[in-house]
Structure 1
């Protein structure tokens, strides 16, 4: 269960520059998906949510401003930091981009340290804001089980690796117990086996996201670490006796009735 790398979408039509930026960011331990124009990048973004988007301003077919305005209309991208790369930009254009909501600029030529620092600053700011305004539903305050130190530690590990595949061997090693002891202790404290506890823990987190307004099921699948859309849907239906889609509709209807 390794730490998940920051996922970057890079959109740059200059092949030499794009290749250099992609290589340098990869060497800086980022996961980079590089696209040569805005249209190609948008097709990827329709199905994937990165941690940050970096786009050149002047590009054929769709420039950086057009791309930004399109993706910002989608609620799931409203908190994704967006950086524009440009060689020349007069004040009026720059002020317009800032007014639109662009988070930062990188002026060509630039040093790799500059872009790495800006990426890390924006990602850390995003995480701190999310932590402040969306407190984790599985924090220590909410846990009221016997031997809560064990359950607290287990939950913290699960939260940290929410998007990753959980390996029982690595999980038991982090808890300094054997795999069999892990299962026995989870059964004793929750009446569930370890696999069921982990699966339902993730589903509870999905429910929390839905209650916060999330409606995109594929986003829920990605955020909770399920291996496929179908496995998530089947598990959700088995756990809550309702499909994810119908559950989302019921939450929306309930909120609408309160208006």
Structure 2
């Protein structure tokens, strides 16, 4: 039976000896572990369960780790779930392809137990810190009635609440109890930006905060900030910051 006070790890590994060892080690380090033997079994399990982290072997029968990752990423509820890939294939091309797909980290076989435990711990700490950073405090001033709040603060709260989706300006104006034209005028007056530019730059500022907090997966940034495409995000980011997302990440995390 799962302990509700422990974090939940899903392990997908077809090698029985390696899988058994990892389960034992993770259990000893105070994690609940669900061990699945192939990608298809994992897909069926993940349709009904959302773990705190997923660890998967790359080379498996039926569905390999790369296919599994790409499949679960189609569901946005998994965008913020850290994914570690285990592989004996350490060539650069394989690693780059997985990172481009959005995999968060690698474990190269054979690996040290401490390396695996620390990578799991660090990714979960990062995930938790990001969630806390961007979850409004229910006792803070954001809970004050709309009419008593600064207008920009009110706009920002709504944008943050709907960060992952494309913001409908008409719906935004409606939630603020003003017309679309009034919304645009108020934004222009306070920021010298039109509403479209303001929303885009608000989302970009959000991704910059995520990068500064340690995030380096660009596809994760695209999804978390609700951009329509990878290319639009990259173009907008470079125009706003003067650096591409990858260049900015490399500069921050040197």
Normalised to the residue count of structure 1, the TM-score between the two structures is: 0.54
User: Which residue is 1:6 aligned to?
Assistant: 7
Cα displacement string for residues 130-188 of structure 1 (whole angstroms, at most 9, x for unaligned residues): 1222323x2455679xxxxxxxxxxxxxxxxxxxxxxxxxxxxxxxxxxxxxxxxxxxx
Cα displacement string for residues 69-115 of structure 1 (whole angstroms, at most 9, x for unaligned residues): 01111110001000000112311111010111100000111121111
C-alpha distance in structure 1 between counterparts of 2:25 and 2:56, whole Å: 16
The Cα shift of 1:3 comes to 7.1
C-alpha distance in structure 1 between counterparts of 2:163 and 2:71, whole Å: 21
Cα displacement string for residues 192-222 of structure 1 (whole angstroms, at most 9, x for unaligned residues): xxxxxxxxxxxxxxxx9xx5479xxxxxxxx
User: Which residue is 2:188 aligned to?
Assistant: none
User: Which residue is 1:238 aligned to?
Assistant: none
C-alpha distance in structure 1 between counterparts of 2:117 and 2:141, whole Å: 36
Secondary structure of the residue that 2:59 maps to in structure 1? coil
C-alpha distance in structure 1 between counterparts of 2:73 and 2:30, whole Å: 27
C-alpha distance in structure 1 between counterparts of 2:19 and 2:46, whole Å: 18
Contact in 1 for aligned 2:12/2:56 (Cα 8 Å): yes
The Cα shift of 1:57 comes to 0.3
Cα-Cα RMSD? 2.7
Secondary structure of the residue that 2:56 maps to in structure 1? strand
In structure 1, the gaps of 5 or more residues are 145-207, 215-251
Change (3 A) 1:256 1:4: farther
C-alpha distance in structure 1 between counterparts of 2:71 and 2:56, whole Å: 13
Secondary structure of the residue that 2:63 maps to in structure 1? coil
The Cα shift of 1:256 comes to 8.0
User: Which residue is 2:126 aligned to?
Assistant: 125
The Cα shift of 1:4 comes to 2.4
Contact in 1 for aligned 2:8/2:32 (Cα 8 Å): yes
User: Which residue is 2:243 aligned to?
Assistant: none
Secondary structure of the residue that 1:102 maps to in structure 2? coil
Secondary structure of the residue that 2:48 maps to in structure 1? coil
C-alpha distance in structure 2 between counterparts of 1:52 and 1:7, whole Å: 7
**What is the count of residue pairs matched by the alignment?**
155
C-alpha distance in structure 1 between counterparts of 2:38 and 2:169, whole Å: 40
User: Which residue is 1:63 aligned to?
Assistant: 64
Give 1:208-223 correspondences, 5 Å limit: 212=162
Secondary structure of the residue that 2:55 maps to in structure 1? strand
Give 1:22-171 correspondences, 5 Å limit: 22-136=23-137, 138-141=138-141
Secondary structure of the residue that 2:66 maps to in structure 1? helix
C-alpha distance in structure 2 between counterparts of 1:212 and 1:60, whole Å: 39
Secondary structure of the residue that 1:105 maps to in structure 2? strand
C-alpha distance in structure 1 between counterparts of 2:14 and 2:170, whole Å: 48
Contact in 1 for aligned 2:54/2:82 (Cα 8 Å): yes
Contact in 1 for aligned 2:136/2:142 (Cα 8 Å): no
The Cα shift of 1:125 comes to 0.5
